[in-house]
């Protein structure tokens, strides 16, 4: 079984500041890792994913995450945030041979002017 821990439930930052949303996971088998974003009253949108290969993965809107196997982490970063990045961010993990996603509790990112 896997588990995901998102260490911060709330992250308030000012516009144009850098941000890091932390995610640690636990699993006894190989995993895939995901970050999803949820805007108010909407469904989840896939932000980025790590399946294999380069441990640094990037999204089209400036986010990046790095898979660190030794620390079992998959932290999400952005060097300069915008007001429009305000949303809830979920880290998720799955077994490479599985079908279900296991989610963390979520981190509410609030970007203030």
Partner 1 sequence: NAGVMQNPRHLVRRRGQEARLRCSPMKGHSHVYWYRQLPEEGLKFMVYLQKENIIDESGMPKERFSAEFPKEGPSILRIQQVVRGDSAAYFCASSLEGVVNEQFFGPGTRLTVL
Quick check: 101 binds partner 1 (CB under 8 A)? yes
Nearer to partner 1, 73 or 102 (CB): 102
66 vs 74: CA distance, rounded Å:
5
Quick check: 67 binds partner 1 (CB under 8 A)? no
Nearest to 55 by CA among 46, 42, 43, 64: 64
Least separation in angstroms between CB 62 and partner 1 = 22
Nearest to 23 by CA among 80, 88, 72, 59: 72
Pick one of 36, 63, 67, 74: the residue that binds partner 1 (CB under 8 A). 36
92 vs 52: CA distance, rounded Å:
15
Quick check: 58 binds partner 1 (CB under 8 A)? no
Quick check: 77 binds partner 1 (CB under 8 A)? no
Quick check: 69 binds partner 1 (CB under 8 A)? no
Residues 6+ apart with CB under 8 A from 47: 34, 35, 36, 37, 59, 63, 76, 89
Binding residues (CB under 8 A) for partner 1: these are 4, 6, 32, 34, 36, 41-46, 49, 51, 90, 92, 94-95, 98-106
């Amino acid at each position: 079984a896997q588990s995901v821990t998102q260490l911060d439930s709330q992250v308030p930052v000012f516009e144009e500041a850098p941000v890091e949303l932390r995610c640690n996971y636990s699993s006894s088998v190989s995993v895939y890792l995901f970050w999803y974003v949820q805007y108010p009253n909407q469904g989840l949108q896939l932000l980025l994913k790590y399946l294999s290969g380069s441990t640094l993965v990037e999204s089209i809107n400036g986010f990046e995450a790095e898979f660190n196997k030794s620390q079992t982490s998959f932290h999400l970063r952005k060097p300069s945030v915008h007001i429009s990045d305000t949303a809830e961010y979920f880290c998720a993990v799955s077994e490479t041979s599985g079908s279900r996603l296991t989610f963390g509790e979520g981190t509410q990112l609030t970007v203030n002017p």
